[in-house]
């Protein structure tokens, strides 16, 4: 009697890491710890949509710290080495250092980082560092106070974010990345000033093309300042030279300031797609797994976690989801899913 064909093994890299249909391992997990933010940046959480009547997730809908750590351990077993805490704004989640300590102690995790708007860094940087956070990325779209206040749309002063960056540097949360979303007619004139301000070793500036994520930010191609134009502006004022990628799947194309040793990068998801080597998974605050920043839907992990299944079953589910992945949205943007079906950046943490 013939035997049934065995289940094909999940594809792996030589070191045992799970790979997707395009041969990409999962190395990075971005964890949104909250869908709330104290800023209302127009390109992410415009006030017209995320106003006082907007219904954010209830506390019981959020993953607990224990559930987040459980998923992180499962991902570490599949090859994840780096965790990044995002939001919303992660520092508005109560007792965040406790979560950092839990994640930093997971075997196989060598880097726990955080992306933040910097509004609470001055108070939290030292505590987060002691808990095990290694690095921070701070969103800073302009050094001009009026422009910065207008872009965050809650009249928050740029000086407070700069103080947070100084506190992070003093606490040893380095290298510090500075993320700058560049929008035509709004802040492109200030890119050289930011590159100069953070040109010392220990800082890396990332200029990001304004992306068509979600449905609420009113994105138009005319508002995009191409990465090539950004580099042209910088090269006209600063001595920069290109740098080779540091690792597979690196999003930014990097340059080095030859006079100071500082680093500059551009993230060009609109004009020069980078999907081909993407190794990132994204976990929403309510426990949905997204395998692409431009995904139309996520995979519910919260229900699985709360159903009482064993850790091995959770890991098997994650491995199955990743092995079926073939996302490469920005490489096929012209034929992509209509914008009305995409998930908001504030929900999955960018």
- Model pLDDT for residues 151-210, shown as the tens digit of each residue: 999 999 999 999 999 999 999 999 999 999 999 988 999 999 999 999 999 999 999 988
Please give the tally of structural domains in the chain: 1
Residue 12 in any domain: the answer is no
3-state SS class at 58: coil
Q: How far apart are CA 343 and CA 217, in angstroms?
A: 12
What is the DSSP pairing of strand 280-283 with strand 288-290? antiparallel
Q: Which residue has the tokens 């860094």?
A: 121
pLDDT confidence of residue 10? 53
Across the range 8-16, mean pLDDT stands at: 53
Residue 217 in any domain: the answer is yes
Q: How far apart are CA 238 and CA 215, in angstroms?
A: 36
What number of other Cβ atoms are within 10 A of residue 239's Cβ? 12
Q: How far apart are CA 128 and CA 135, in angstroms?
A: 10
CA distances to 64, 295, 309, 324, 332 from 34, rounded to whole Å, are 11, 19, 25, 27, 30
Residue 113 has pLDDT above 60, yes or no: yes
Residue 139 has pLDDT above 80, yes or no: yes
pLDDT confidence of residue 268? 82
Are 256 and 201 in contact by the 8 Å Cβ rule? The answer is no
Element containing residue 134 per DSSP (H, E): none
Residue 8 has pLDDT above 50, yes or no: no
Residue 3 in any domain: the answer is no
pLDDT confidence of residue 83? 98
Cβ partners under 8 Å of residue 52, min gap 6: none
Which has more pLDDT, 267 or 133? 133
Which residue range forms the structural domain that includes residue 145?
28-348
Q: Which residue has the tokens 């997971």?
A: 106
Q: How far apart are CA 62 and CA 33, in angstroms?
A: 8
Residue 11 in any domain: the answer is no
pLDDT tens digits for range 219-241 = 677 788 999 999 999 999 999 99
pLDDT confidence of residue 328? 66
Residue 347 has pLDDT above 90, yes or no: no
* Radius of gyration for the alpha carbons in the chain, expressed in angstroms and rounded: 20
Q: Residue 116: which pLDDT band, with cuts at 50, 70 and 90?
A: very high
Write the CATH number for 116. 3.20.20.70
Across the range 55-79, mean pLDDT stands at: 97
Across the range 92-107, mean pLDDT stands at: 98
Residue 8 in any domain: the answer is no
Q: How far apart are CA 5 and CA 8, in angstroms?
A: 9
pLDDT confidence of residue 54? 94
Residue 90 has pLDDT above 50, yes or no: yes
Q: How far apart are CA 113 and CA 339, in angstroms?
A: 30
pLDDT tens digits for range 288-345 = 999 887 777 899 999 999 999 999 999 999 999 999 998 766 555 544 444 445 566 6
Residue 280 has pLDDT above 70, yes or no: yes
Residue 129 has pLDDT above 50, yes or no: yes
Residue 55 in any domain: the answer is yes
Q: Residue 211: which pLDDT band, with cuts at 50, 70 and 90?
A: confident
Average pLDDT across the chain, whole number: 88
Q: What are phi and psi of 256, to 5 degrees?
A: -120, 135
Are 76 and 13 in contact by the 8 Å Cβ rule? The answer is no
Residue 276 in any domain: the answer is yes
């Amino acid at each position: 009697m013939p035997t049934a064909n065995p289940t094909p093994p999940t594809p792996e890299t030589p070191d045992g890491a799970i790979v997707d249909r395009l041969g990409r391992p999962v190395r990075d997990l971005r964890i949104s710890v909250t869908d709330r933010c104290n800023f209302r940046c127009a390109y992410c959480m415009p006030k017209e949509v995320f106003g006082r009547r907007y219904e954010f997730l209830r506390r019981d809908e959020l993953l607990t710290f224990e559930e987040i750590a459980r998923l992180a351990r499962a991902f570490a077993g599949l090859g994840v080495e780096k965790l990044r805490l995002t939001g919303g704004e992660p520092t508005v989640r109560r007792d965040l250092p406790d979560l950092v300590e839990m994640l930093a102690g997971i075997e196989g995790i060598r880097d726990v980082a955080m992306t933040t708007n910097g509004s609470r860094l001055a108070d939290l940087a030292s505590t987060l560092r002691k808990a095990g956070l290694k690095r921070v990325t701070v969103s800073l779209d302009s050094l001009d106070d009026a422009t910065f206040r207008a872009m965050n749309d809650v009249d928050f002063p740029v000086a407070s974010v700069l103080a947070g960056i100084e506190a992070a540097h003093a606490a040893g949360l380095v290298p510090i990345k500075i993320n700058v979303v560049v929008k035509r007619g709004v802040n492109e004139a200030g890119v050289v000033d930011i590159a100069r301000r953070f040109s010392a070793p220990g800082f890396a500036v990332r200029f990001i093309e304004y992306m068509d994520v979600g449905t609420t930010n009113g994105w138009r191609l005319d508002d995009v300042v191409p990465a090539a134009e950004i580099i042209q502006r910088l090269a006209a004022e600063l001595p920069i030279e290109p740098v080779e990628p540091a690792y597979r799947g690196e999003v930014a194309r990097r340059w080095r300031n030859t006079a100071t040793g500082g680093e500059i990068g551009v993230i060009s998801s609109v004009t020069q797609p980078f999907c081909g080597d993407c190794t990132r998974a994204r976990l929403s605050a309510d426990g949905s797994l997204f395998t692409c920043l431009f995904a139309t839907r996520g995979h519910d992990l919260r229900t699985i976690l709360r159903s009482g299944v064993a850790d091995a079953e959770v890991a098997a589910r994650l491995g199955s989801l990743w092995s079926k992945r073939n996302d490469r949205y920005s490489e096929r943007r012209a034929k992509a899913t209509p914008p009305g079906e995409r998930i908001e950046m504030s929900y999955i943490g960018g």
